[in-house]
Structure 1
Amino acid sequence: MKLIAKTFHGLEDVLAGELKEIGAQQIKTVNRAVEFEGDQELLYKANLLLRTAIRILIPIHHFTATNDQELYDGVKQFDWSGIMNVDQTLAIDPVVFSEAFTHSLYVALKTKDAIVDQFREKEGKRPSVDVENPNMRLVIHLSNDKATISMDSSGESLHKRGYRVGMHKAPLNEVLAAGMVMLSGWDKKQPLIDPMCGSGTILMEAVMYARNYPPGLHKKTFGFMGWNDYDPALWNKIVEQAKEGITQPRLKIFGSDSDIKAIDIARESALQFRLNRDINFSLSSFERLEPHYPKGMIIMNPPYGERLMKDKDIIDFYRMIGNRLKRTFTGYDAWVLTSNKEALKNVGLKPLEKLKLFNGSLECGFHKFNLYDGTIKKIIKFR
């Protein structure tokens, strides 16, 4: 069975590595996704275990379409009674990159019309649409004239782990946070600090990663559970095996923030999965934070100046970050995610690595700084 795992730009190789670990075959990275092959058991494992996947799709139908009628006819070429029955519900999610089709919702409507019309012509009645909790969620992807329809096995996006109890002013997506932890090379034994932790997403993803805690364990429903071939016994077996694999290592993980509401949200969120004993949260600004250990790793997502800080203050803020890193955190490796290239120049450190990631629609750099003794201030030159 051919499958596709969707992810964010820059996390394709991390996701490919995760897929290899769970037994996927014929793995191939593409833009914001990884193609692979596996059986029903692997499909279930992918939804439960993958940290950097947004959703898992099964492509079932390919055709070409350059206008409305070709789209409608192409959808009707497939025998939809083979994957669902008329008494079940469906929903259509469109992803459109085509000059011929400029309105994605119209593409979804035409796709739905073709499917329900086929059922009406064959059986005299049609399935209903349920956009919230359908038995069958389909994704139609149109790239120029190439159309692919896939079954969405995940349903609600896999980034929704279930631990988030409140909304921070600028929340970090859980999949992106997990990818940052894995890209950093954190060895799980090092002390780990997020000095601007907000609601604690990076740290909670780090704990789950270190403990081998399945990110989908608390997700109540998946798309595949509404399918005709859903195997509850197989799913329960996979879940129990995953629970048995959870470990209890001794972790040194610290989160701080100057916003008391953010710290309150982080602490309450950590309680949801009982991760609170693994994370030491404190109310502190970065200017006053002192490390508990002489060496370790820092991963931070400071304000970019987009929502949380005015432009006039952002330069001084990044200059403060650089000064604190150089003077207080010698012996640490620091990873900084930001979309503000100009502000980052004022950190005064030369990055050893620069990776491109996206935080929502914002293109960001994920920069690694090695804070060794005798670090020389050097303004970064960006091309």
Structure 2
Amino acid sequence: MSEQFFAPCPRGLEPGLQDELSALGAGKIRQVPGGVSFTGDWALAYAVNLESRLATRVLWQVAHGRYHGEQDIYKLAYGVTWAKWFTPEQTMRVYVIARRSPLKSLEFITLRIKDAVCDHFRTIKGVRPSIDTANPDVRIHAFLSTDEAMLYVDTSGEPLYKRGFKQAAVEAPLKENLAAGILRVSGWQPGETLLDPMCGSGTFLIEAAQIALDIAPGLGRRFGFEALKTLDESVWRRMRKAAEGRRRHVAKLPIYGSDSEGVQVKRARINLEAAGLADQVTLEQAELTERMPPAAEGVMVANPPYGVRIGESSELAEFYPKLGDALKARWAGWRCYFLSADPDLPKLIKLKATKRTPMFNGALECRVFEYKVIAGSNRREKA
């Protein structure tokens, strides 16, 4: 039976997510800013949760209707057959997002939807589910446009970029699905040398190693659909087993990470160990502007400091020219990709970006700057 789903993702990753969904067999795929809608059966929903590297969630649409006021949304939510999908013994939480909605209070709408679900259970079962805002069994999402409301059950639970193993965090982490999207934009392929010279908690390294070894990104975690009555345990068990059997076993990968701070290298190592990938990736402490390439050619990916994080423009003005000089001096033959919200990066790095791909890091509008470093690019500057 075909169901309607929506998979949100970071802005800029919609084309890649569409390709993922198409490869998994989704139907009626349609991109919108911030996500992709599609149709399919429950086995497809399991597969997208397990296999997608770019989706943030997989939401199952359970109601859709027009509204004029809060009471219309209450009626829409009350009429959904919630008791078919979970029990009043399970906890729940409601999330609401609105764009150009005339309604004044999202908090009040959230409360009305919660009341409608609880009233439905009280009518059908005589008892109501409890609310858990920290770790609910079931997440219900509502999206309001100018005059339409859509209700979804979250089949993912925790966001899909939480792969389930990362232990050591950094102050400004790069989400895993955004890292996977940048790897996709770079055109990097398994077998090609990859370096993250500002590796932080190791996100790029882990994502690349999992791609190279064909490890499904969701193998290390649980999902929201496992708490629903719709779960077909035999189908899900076979799917997981097949994904586990695909993993390639390689002693070493041409994937390298480094950082100027020893504490960051330690964090990356802890996370690689937790993911079972510490033996496959090479780590070292090194300053990007001083280190040597690990191979004659390859792909460099990095999330360098920019104004939002580093704070001081004088530090940026000092760092970026050094980075440009290092690339020209030692990295000929490499394709380099930097995520940055700083539009002045190309000017400061003093290299011409061959491509600029728009991408959002949360609410922050960024670009992935591509630099193809070729021999002889260190031309004399005009007097």
TM-score (normalised: structure 1): 0.94
1:40 counterpart letter in structure 2? W
Alignment match, 1:345: 347
* Number of aligned positions between the proteins: 378
Alignment match, 2:65: 63
CA deviation map 1:143-162 (0-9, x unaligned): 22211001100001111112
| Structure 1 gap ranges (5+) | none
Does the CA contact (< 8 Å) of 2:304 and 2:339 recur in 1? yes
Alignment match, 2:240: 239
Cα distance between partner residues in 1 of 2:360 and 2:113: 30
Alignment match, 1:310: 312
**Which of 103, 127, 130 is the aligned partner of 2:129?**
127
1:185 counterpart letter in structure 2? G
Cα distance between partner residues in 1 of 2:213 and 2:61: 33
Alignment match, 1:168: 170
Q: What secondary structure, in the 3-state scheme, does the structure 2 residue paired with 1:140 have?
A: strand
**Residue 39 (1) aligns with residue 38 (2):** no
Alignment match, 1:76: 78
Q: What secondary structure, in the 3-state scheme, does the structure 2 residue paired with 1:369 have?
A: strand
Does the CA contact (< 8 Å) of 1:176 and 1:359 recur in 2? yes
Per-residue deviation, 1:38: 1.6
Does the CA contact (< 8 Å) of 2:18 and 2:31 recur in 1? yes
Cα distance between partner residues in 1 of 2:177 and 2:131: 29
State the identity as a percent: 33
Alignment match, 2:367: 365
1:139 counterpart letter in structure 2? H
Within-5 A mapping of 1:1-383: 1-219=3-221, 221-249=222-250, 251-375=253-377
Per-residue deviation, 1:257: 0.6
Displaced runs of 4+ in structure 1, greater than 4 A? 376-379
Does the CA contact (< 8 Å) of 2:69 and 2:103 recur in 1? yes
Cα distance between partner residues in 2 of 1:118 and 1:277: 53
Per-residue deviation, 1:364: 0.6
Per-residue deviation, 1:342: 1.6
Question: Measured at CA, do residues 214 and 141 of structure 1 come closer, stay the same or move farther in structure 2, by a change above 3 Å?
Answer: same
2:233 counterpart letter in structure 1? P
1:171 counterpart letter in structure 2? P
Does the CA contact (< 8 Å) of 2:50 and 2:216 recur in 1? yes
CA deviation map 1:237-286 (0-9, x unaligned): 10110011112355211111111111100001100121112211111111
Q: What secondary structure, in the 3-state scheme, does the structure 2 residue paired with 1:119 have?
A: helix
1:307 counterpart letter in structure 2? R
Q: What secondary structure, in the 3-state scheme, does the structure 1 residue paired with 2:43 have?
A: helix
| Structure 2 gap ranges (5+) | none
Cα distance between partner residues in 2 of 1:254 and 1:64: 52
Cα distance between partner residues in 2 of 1:377 and 1:90: 62
Cα distance between partner residues in 2 of 1:93 and 1:178: 26
Cα distance between partner residues in 2 of 1:230 and 1:217: 17
Q: Which moved more, 1:76-85 or 1:336-345?
A: 76-85
Cα distance between partner residues in 2 of 1:278 and 1:333: 22
Question: Measured at CA, do residues 270 and 76 of structure 1 come closer, stay the same or move farther in structure 2, by a change above 3 Å?
Answer: same
Does the CA contact (< 8 Å) of 1:350 and 1:378 recur in 2? no
TM-score (normalised: structure 2): 0.94
1:216 counterpart letter in structure 2? G
Per-residue deviation, 1:325: 0.7
Cα distance between partner residues in 2 of 1:102 and 1:246: 50
Does the CA contact (< 8 Å) of 1:349 and 1:378 recur in 2? no
Cα distance between partner residues in 1 of 2:372 and 2:328: 10
Cα distance between partner residues in 1 of 2:17 and 2:101: 31
Per-residue deviation, 1:351: 1.5
Cα distance between partner residues in 1 of 2:308 and 2:160: 26
Q: Which moved more, 1:253-262 or 1:117-126?
A: 117-126
Q: What secondary structure, in the 3-state scheme, does the structure 2 residue paired with 1:84 have?
A: coil
Per-residue deviation, 1:86: 3.5
2:18 counterpart letter in structure 1? A
CA deviation map 1:60-104 (0-9, x unaligned): 101122322222223223333333344433221111224423433
Does the CA contact (< 8 Å) of 2:328 and 2:378 recur in 1? no
Cα distance between partner residues in 1 of 2:112 and 2:93: 12
- RMSD value, Cα: 1.8
Does the CA contact (< 8 Å) of 2:101 and 2:145 recur in 1? no
